[in-house]
Structures are given as structure tokens and as C-alpha cells.
Amino acid sequence: MEKIKLEILGMTYSESSSGAYVLILGELNGQRRLPIVIGGPEADAIAIGIEGTKSNRPLTHDLLLNFAKEFNVRILEVVINRFRDGVFYAVLVCKHGDDFITIDARPSDAIALAVRLGCNISAFESVMEEAGIIMDDIEETSEEDEPEDNEKHINKVQGETNFDLLTVNELEDMLQEAIDNEDYERAARIRDEINGRDNS
């Protein structure tokens, strides 16, 4: 099955879920984005790994890496392999001697390990097709439409929209608007609503 290499583009605080963050992954040399809602501790673990901050005592993910190293287990890659009912699943691809092993993991934990090791993060094409959000090139934007300071503006969600009252076409319009505003969390919720109707 085809795998798409991903990179971490950033994390944003979730306006609708207390203490949660949205981890934004993007395909290398592509326009698709994969927004994944993660908890605060998991966001901290990923940020610490990216920054390379050292703790006086091993944190949970550091402990796991030390354990793997002690027993000669190499973590080669993180693969986001499924998207079901709005939930992402991942595996760690490992090597022990001549054996290759896959271990189930939450994407947030797997990525926290990946940033510490510098190993590849990827997703199956099927996951990208179902859950990916496409960012169109914004080359036709006129100068008068651009903010003076060239900052990106993100619309904050004020309350929740009752998606049940909207048609698929209206949802698709809302999805595009959320993407244009780089409101990945809202775009992910709208995407899940559209996918849920396609499967019903």
C-alpha cells in the first residue's frame, strides 16, 4: 500500500476541546494536510522532542526509547495506517535482529518518539484520501486582499454549528471556507460529518 511521507507543520490550541491541541501534518511536496486532535500532555511531549529539551530524569517517551535501545530494538518509521469513526491509528515499524515488527500506537505517542529519533512519519494513501484536507495554492489573491503585515488570520469558532441542518453542498462550502481560513480543527469536524454521511 502506498505511503505518503509527512512533516509536522505545527500545533494549534483547540478552541472547542478544553486542554486539547490540533497537530497539523502535511505531505512533503504536496498540498494535503492531516489535522489530528491530541491531548495537552501529548502536545507537550511532541514539543519537547522537537525542541530537544533535556530533562533531569527520563520522561515517559525517553524511557521507552531507552528500553528499546537496551534490548536492541530500532524504531524505523511511524505509519498512520487507519482512520475510523473520526479516530486515527498508527503503528511503529521496528527492527529487532533480522525481524521486522509493527507495534500499535496512538499517533501522538508514535510521533513523540519519531521527533526524538528523527525517523520518518508517513500515512497510507487511503488515510490521506479519507481524512486529508487539501490546501489550494493562493496565487490569485490580489494585493488589496492581503493583510498589510502578511500575517495569517485564523477564524475562531464561536459556538458549534448544527451540521444536521445543512446539506452536503453547504458542508462542502463550509469546509472550503475553513480551509481558506486555516481553521484546521473546524475543517476536520466538517470533513468527518461529510464522511459520515457518505458512509450512511
pLDDT per position as a tens digit, 144-164: 444 343 332 223 333 345 666
Domain with CATH 3.10.690.10 in the chain: 3-131
Cell of 94: 521496528
Contact 80, 34 (CB under 8 A): yes
> pLDDT tens across 90-128, in order?
999 999 999 999 999 999 999 999 999 999 999 999 999
Q: How far apart are CA 68 and CA 179, in angstroms?
A: 39
For the chain, give the percent of residues with pLDDT over 70: 82
CATH class for the region spanning 3-131? alpha beta
Separation of alpha carbons 76 and 65, rounded Å: 12
